């Protein structure tokens, strides 16, 4: 999903806030992190790390929370990198 997609606009129209877009830095790309997670395939290519090309992962929150910071985390073994955020309850 990108900011141009109807689903993104629909979520923001409901009042949800994209934490990374608000306070994160950089493009926020999280996918793909590696070629494959299929361990049943006996192939050395399945664990090759890649440079993520797309932003597919989001942290959405309501206005009762405030985004303090957001960042892309380190490799945790998935084919996506994690999105992390520090939020503050304001009410």
Confidence at residue 41, expressed as pLDDT on a 0 to 100 scale: 55
What distance in Å separates the CA atoms of residue 11 and residue 28, rounded to the nearest whole number?
Answer: 18
Confidence at residue 49, expressed as pLDDT on a 0 to 100 scale: 79
Q: What is the pTM of this model?
A: 0.82
What would the pLDDT profile of 7-50 be if each residue is shown by its tens digit?
A: 999 999 999 999 999 999 999 999 988 776 555 555 566 667 78
Confidence at residue 63, expressed as pLDDT on a 0 to 100 scale: 96
CB 32 within 8 A of CB 49: no
CB 79 within 8 A of CB 37: yes
- Torsion, Cα of 86, 88, 89, 90 (10° steps): -150
């Amino acid at each position: 999903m990108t900011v141009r997609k109807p689903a993104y606009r629909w979520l923001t129209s409901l009042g949800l806030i994209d934490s990374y877009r608000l306070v994160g830095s950089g493009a926020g790309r999280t996918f793909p992190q590696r070629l494959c997670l299929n361990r049943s395939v006996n192939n050395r290519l399945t664990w090759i790390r890649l440079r993520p090309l797309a932003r597919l992962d989001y942290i959405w929150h309501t206005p009762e929370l405030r985004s303090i910071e957001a960042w892309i985390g380190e490799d945790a073994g998935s084919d996506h990198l994690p999105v992390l955020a520090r939020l503050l309850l304001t009410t």
